[in-house]
Structure 1
Amino acid sequence: MENMVFVFALLLCNGVAFAASFRQDPSVNLKTLVNDYGYAAEVHNVITEDGYILELHRIPGVINKTLSETKKRKVALLLHGLLGSSFTWLVTGPKRSLAFILVDNGYDVWLLNNRGSTYSRKHISKLETSYGFWDFSWHEMGIYDLPATIHYVLNNTDQSNLNLGCFSEGCTQACVMGSLKPEYNEKINFALALAPAVYWTYVGGLVRFLIPFTRILVANVELFLTYEPAGASIKQLLHYALGTYYPGTFRLFDYGPVRNLRLYNSISPPDYRLENVNIPFAIYHGLNDLLVSPKDIDLLKGRLPNIVDAYLVPGKLNHYDFMLGLNINQLCYKRALALMEKYNQE
């Protein structure tokens, strides 16, 4: 029961108010939805090193003639947050969705669906209903899903680097990749981080109250590593929650002292080396975000070596306002896009 409470708390504690008329029917085929908005759409599949089959959605932009002469294209890869999918970037439609805004500005936009999300429920040898399929956290998304996707996108666009846009957990996996596979940092021209969920020292609201229950779960981790209807493993949630037991740290998964000693040669999990993440990072966050506190953003700012913008967006924005807020384009996206354009002109 505790695991269900924890999941629903994550969804409810940062609820965002928006008119029902803005919400698209999730049963509508994504490609049809994009086509109905007047945009082209493609579906691609990527197989990770550990056998997960990820579905990518592509909305190709119009290539600038000057750029096409030099074979240089503006490519953007967008990463969704916890319990999300590529649909997160499209739900608010043209003129409001960052994905469509980027396409309108000439970007070739690719949307990653991490393992376990709605569109990425296949593996070359494991069944979706098996324990083994769901035995992953955002750690695996960082060391497997993101590198495989970057490699695929660059090969298919004939580019040497791309722009990365991430929301919440998507930024977590980007930091994991950058710290453990720093050779991929040079493949990222610019990183736009919206409410990056990296440190959880100051997490608030109902989530803080429910964190003690995670010790119950981790004690029986093989019994509880299953999936929730929205598309996430319990291990993803545990990895965040257990991080609060080590304030001010961003660490690998805590399996308990015995298994930690076997895996890490230490009773405590090691820290991710954020000093390796030298990607140009632009961070945008909200004052009323109970999942990503401004104090946790300060911790992140103190560790990343190449922050090119750190902006507390005006107003009392909560976590999901960065995806669904009615005025988020004016408040945040325009500033972020202007900076991204600067990096694409250099």
Structure 2
Amino acid sequence: MVVQLKVLAATLLFVAFLHISLSEDVEGFRERRAPKIHPHTFLPTPGLIRARGYPAEVHHVATEDGYILELHRIPFSPHRSLGGNPNPISLSQNNVKRSLQLQLPNATAGLQDRSSLIGNNLEQKEPKVVFIQHCVLCSSADFVMNDPNQALAFILSDAGYDVWLGNIRGNIYSRRHRTITAKNPKFWEFSWDTCARYDIPAMLQYVRTNTGANQVSYIGHSMGTTMFFAMMNIHPHINSWVRVMAAMAPVAYMHNKHAPIGILSPVINGIDRTLTQRGKLEFLTPTKSSSTLFSGLCSEVLLIRSICKFFLDALAGPSARNVDPNYLPVIVAHTPAGTSFRTVTHLLQLVRDRRFQAFDYGPTDNFKVYGTARPPRLDLAAVTVPVGAFWSDNDWVADPRDVQLTVRELGNVVVNHRVQHNSFNHLDFLWAENAAALVYRHILDLLGRYN
């Protein structure tokens, strides 16, 4: 506990340092770093996709409660359309370079031209469609920030999948609502179980409608799995929409986690109430200035990069630098991507209460919302979809002990895969150069059984 408190204190000091630096000298910092800024640093997800030579589409879907979500799509792979090797994990370096140089026409939102996609799936009765959902403070960008033979979305595209990347309400891509703006505190009064009720179902239905697929494959990372599990309690019929689910670093139970932020769990409801009263429920929304600063702090300067590494390790688990250090400045310019503080509160409630449950408003408001003093437990057995669980020993968020509790309660686990690498941490599932060999090829095998 003493060690964790020291780490937490150091982490908070680092955040304070960022706040001071951001408010006092961001412009000067940006100007000094500008000549070495990577060209991908400020590209949105569609730009990152096109920069690698893949087509990108932007789609929007409105939820039942009025939020407007942005989805990103890679409808087909240039490797397959050019007759290249459909196995991205074994692509030669020459093929990777060719994909970087190829610039395909800009694919726009909607269904203006599906001929390439249809042609790619003529031999199939049902389109091969996969939907990928990000974690807390993440976005669609996290699945395309690597070389084509290393990033999950590109690997799936090269394997013949129509790839859709979701963005839940409140992140940088989904900050609109039909009647209120993101400046209104009411916009931010949601947690991940709200997203499980509205956002994930809306996006899945949109994908099914626009692809003609009755069923899609689902891949989630961390909170992307939490929302999936909760959704099946709220909308059990959605089990029939999903062929198979790949759960990377699955999160339902969290009380064994090592990450120092868990120390805040006993007082998190009080913090949440205070912020709600002050109308401050928006959390870590990125700006151009903050993205520049984060990128610079993870630059090639050894001392500064050490601070960056300490901060990331405190959040996700000690790393053996599985992430390309030269591309890390690009990655941290996109992540964190913003969310509501209530979403973080809800995750820490799982730590505090040692149960997988709906949001805890406190006894009085729980009676108003649920009719009971405690929030209802969410039943993992409600998930009847075949599930593959992919986890690692070095994950400080999805601790192996918590993962095994989750696996035991899920109704239909068909793969329980431990990553064979001692220093593979929570964020390595997204960004590691070796994730393709350690995780993604196994996910491809899993999806292949059901497609």
TM-score, with length taken from structure 2: 0.69
- Distance change (3 Å), C-alpha of 1:122 and 1:266: same
What is the Cα deviation at residue 29 of structure 1?
Answer: 3.6
Q: How many residues are aligned here?
A: 329
Mapped partners of 1:227, 1:329: distance in 2: 31
Mapped partners of 1:162, 1:46: distance in 2: 17
Amino acid across the alignment from 1:243: L
List per-residue Cα deviations over 1:95-122 (Å, max 9, x = no partner): 1111000000000000011101111110
What is the aligned partner in structure 1 of residue 445 from structure 2? 338
What is the Cα deviation at residue 246 of structure 1?
Answer: 1.8
Pair 1:236-2:348 in alignment: no
What is the aligned partner in structure 1 of residue 321 from structure 2? none
What is the Cα deviation at residue 312 of structure 1?
Answer: 1.1
- Distance change (3 Å), C-alpha of 1:124 and 1:219: closer
Pair 1:313-2:419 in alignment: yes
What is the aligned partner in structure 1 of residue 302 from structure 2? none
Amino acid across the alignment from 1:39: Y
Mapped partners of 1:296, 1:162: distance in 2: 27
Q: Is the 8 A contact 1:98 1:333 kept in 2?
A: yes
What is the aligned partner in structure 1 of residue 122 from structure 2? 68
SS at match of 2:409: coil
What is the aligned partner in structure 2 of residue 139 from structure 1? 193
What is the aligned partner in structure 1 of residue 143 from structure 2? 89
What is the Cα deviation at residue 70 of structure 1?
Answer: 4.7
What is the aligned partner in structure 2 of residue 256 from structure 1? 362
Equivalent residue for 1:183, pick from 217, 233, 237: 237
Q: Is the 8 A contact 1:117 1:232 kept in 2?
A: yes
Q: Is the 8 A contact 1:134 1:227 kept in 2?
A: no
What is the Cα deviation at residue 197 of structure 1?
Answer: 1.8
What is the aligned partner in structure 2 of residue 36 from structure 1? 51
List per-residue Cα deviations over 1:37-59 (Å, max 9, x = no partner): 11111100000000000011000
Mapped partners of 2:439, 2:63: distance in 1: 33
Amino acid across the alignment from 1:270: P
Equivalent residue for 2:40, pick from 21, 25, 32: 25
Mapped partners of 2:264, 2:176: distance in 1: 31
Mapped partners of 2:257, 2:44: distance in 1: 35
Mapped partners of 1:286, 1:239: distance in 2: 23
Amino acid across the alignment from 1:299: L
SS at match of 1:179: helix
Amino acid across the alignment from 1:119: Y
Larger of the two Rg values belongs to structure: 2
What is the aligned partner in structure 1 of residue 104 from structure 2? none
Amino acid across the alignment from 2:403: I
Mapped partners of 2:351, 2:247: distance in 1: 21
What is the aligned partner in structure 1 of residue 74 from structure 2? 59
Mapped partners of 2:210, 2:402: distance in 1: 37
Amino acid across the alignment from 1:33: L
What is the Cα deviation at residue 273 of structure 1?
Answer: 2.1
What is the Cα deviation at residue 178 of structure 1?
Answer: 1.2
- Distance change (3 Å), C-alpha of 1:126 and 1:312: same
- Which deviates the most, 75-84 or 196-205? 196-205
Pair 1:246-2:353 in alignment: yes
Equivalent residue for 1:45, pick from 60, 74, 81: 60
What is the Cα deviation at residue 24 of structure 1?
Answer: 6.9
- Distance change (3 Å), C-alpha of 1:118 and 1:66: closer
Equivalent residue for 1:301, pick from 401, 407, 411: 407
What is the aligned partner in structure 1 of residue 322 from structure 2? none
Q: Is the 8 A contact 1:45 1:56 kept in 2?
A: yes
What is the aligned partner in structure 2 of residue 275 from structure 1? 381
SS at match of 1:170: helix
Q: Is the 8 A contact 2:61 2:69 kept in 1?
A: yes
Any stretches of 5+ residues in structure 1 without a counterpart?
A: 13-20
Q: Is the 8 A contact 2:255 2:351 kept in 1?
A: yes
- Distance change (3 Å), C-alpha of 1:24 and 1:284: farther
Amino acid across the alignment from 1:142: A
Any stretches of 5+ residues in structure 2 without a counterpart?
A: 1-7, 16-35, 78-116, 286-336
Q: Is the 8 A contact 1:64 1:106 kept in 2?
A: no
SS at match of 1:284: strand
Amino acid across the alignment from 1:80: H
Pair 1:325-2:432 in alignment: yes
- Distance change (3 Å), C-alpha of 1:334 and 1:90: same
Pair 1:227-2:280 in alignment: no
Mapped partners of 1:100, 1:66: distance in 2: 16
Pair 1:286-2:342 in alignment: no
Mapped partners of 2:276, 2:213: distance in 1: 42
SS at match of 1:99: helix
List per-residue Cα deviations over 1:213-238 (Å, max 9, x = no partner): 31321343523423322311100000
SS at match of 1:68: coil
What is the aligned partner in structure 2 of residue 210 from structure 1? 264
What is the Cα deviation at residue 66 of structure 1?
Answer: 8.8
SS at match of 1:189: strand
Equivalent residue for 1:78, pick from 120, 132, 135: 132
- Distance change (3 Å), C-alpha of 1:31 and 1:244: closer
What is the Cα deviation at residue 64 of structure 1?
Answer: 8.3
Amino acid across the alignment from 1:338: D
